[in-house]
Amino acid sequence: MPVLYGTHVESALMLGTAGYPSPRILADAFARSGAGIATVSLRRETGGGQDFWTLVQSLGARLLPNTAGCHSAREAVTTAHMAREVFATDWIKLEVIGHADTLQPDVFELVQAARILAAEGFKVFPYCTEDLTACERLLDAGCQVLMPWGAPIGSGLGLNNPHGLRALRAAFPDVPLVIDAGIGLPSHAAAAMEMGYDAVLLNSAVARAGDPVQMAGAMADAVRAGRAAYLADPMERTDMAVPSTPVLGKAFL
């Protein structure tokens, strides 16, 4: 179970609350997933007012509001302040988008916003790239968790840069790392956990599935399997075949 800002989270699966066909399917998907954290957007999801607030409170997961839709540090900081008031938490998933087509983070504005929010007592979860320098700057700004993307938000492409993600894991072995964005299949989630990542955050892969509840269960199983495989210390890869049956004691005719 991951430990994030000193808090033990019940599951390594984090699940978003946007885009589900109905509130009932959202609730059922969360129940099936066992997700420990639910991300909610102040801008995009609170239009339902009290009904939405009652729903997210009933999910049984810790709430992580986000600054989705923000394109500058100033905008993100203002949104974080409002989210803290609305959701009564100092946890914030910090998103500052820099590119309209890929929704890639603007790492310059992101670091600036992270520094301001961390100084104000927020527990910042930055949505970032796997760039080592940008991640180091975020840690210096006061972040204690990093959330690099696997691929562009909502693309379902999986882990576009596995080498870079492994390098990030190796560079910061003691920092909780969460793959955020791009997961489309349970195999993608399992691969992230097999690399040693602490958790996976996804939304569209479940919300946009033909059967969101069944997919939520599949993602939960994949995250558990991937973590178990990582802890089992998998065998090393080789370029040549290695016989599984030894020849010692074998009769040669």
Residues belonging to the active site: 93
146/53 Cα distance (integer angstroms): 27
Report the alpha-carbon angle 172-10-131, nearest 5.
25
Binding residues: 154, 181-182, 203-204
What is the distance in angstroms between the CA of the first residue and the CA of the last residue of the chain? Answer: 54
Binding residues for 1-deoxy-D-xylulose 5-phosphate: 154, 181-182, 203-204
The answer to whether the CB of 87 falls within 8 A of the CB of 63 is: yes
Query: Which helix H or strand E contains 57, and what residues bound it?
Result: helix 50-57
222/11 Cα distance (integer angstroms): 12
Neighbours of 187 (CB within 10 A): 15
